[in-house]
Amino acid sequence: MKPNKASSSKSELQTKIEVLALHRYWIWANNMREHFYHALVQPEWLERTKKNGALSSEDLARAFFCDDPGVFMSYWYGGLFVVIEGWKELHLSDPVIDSLIADPKVDLLKRYRNGAFHFQKNYFDQRFQGFIEEKEAAKWARELNSEFGRYFLGAFGVQNSNKTSDS
């Protein structure tokens, strides 16, 4: 666990307690990611959409966001941004994570989180579309999620040959 110099005045115990609290948010986000991956490969949501006659790309997008895949994805993305906020607030440091959160996609993820957790009148609000349409945003989110998992395993002294279950 490597806090940067700004947090060096905190006791090591206090830092561990705060990192443990942040870990809880990562667990919640990661759980939503796992539900998202599971829901994405389940044909039920797509079958329900086809049964209702929805065939246009806009209808499919609405169905995706209203059914399990979109729900879990939105909660995962929102939770992942909370972990980024906590990381910054605690002044934690890890070269891989710091590089990933220096990416402009963080701002798009923040907007997505805001769109998901603050009412938007426009169904396909730009807060959602900006992140969804950003090239490699999903890959970036998976990598960041995985790196947070790696960090927390190391912070608590857990040895693991896999990055996370995301690998």
Return the domain boundaries, the chain. 12-155
| Band of pLDDT at residue 146, cut at 50, 70 and 90 | very high
Whole-number Cα distances in Å, 154 to 129, 151, 161: 35, 5, 11
Measure the CA–CA gap between 141 and 81, rounded to whole angstroms: 10
Q: Bridge-partner residues for 92, per DSSP? A: 3
pTM for the predicted model, two decimal places: 0.84
Q: What is the pLDDT of residues 55-99, one digit of tens each?
A: 788 888 888 888 899 999 999 999 999 999 999 999 999 999 999
End-to-end CA distance of the chain: give it in Å, rounded. Answer: 22
What one-letter code names the amino acid at 160? N
pLDDT at 4: 54
Q: What is the pLDDT of residues 14-68, one digit of tens each?
A: 989 999 999 999 999 999 999 999 998 887 877 877 776 657 888 888 888 888 9
Lowest mean per-residue pLDDT among 1-5, 6-10, 57-61: 1-5
Question: DSSP per residue over 65-112, as a string?
Answer: HHSHHHHHHHHHHHHHHHHHHHHHHTTB--HHHHHHTTSTHHHHHHHH
Q: Residue 36 in contact with residue 123, Cβ under 8 Å?
A: no
Q: Which helix (H) or strand (E) holds 165?
A: none
Q: Bridge-partner residues for 3, per DSSP? A: 92
- The residue that leads in pLDDT, 12 or 23, is 23
Q: What is the pLDDT of residues 101-141, one digit of tens each?
A: 999 999 999 999 999 999 999 988 899 999 999 999 999 99
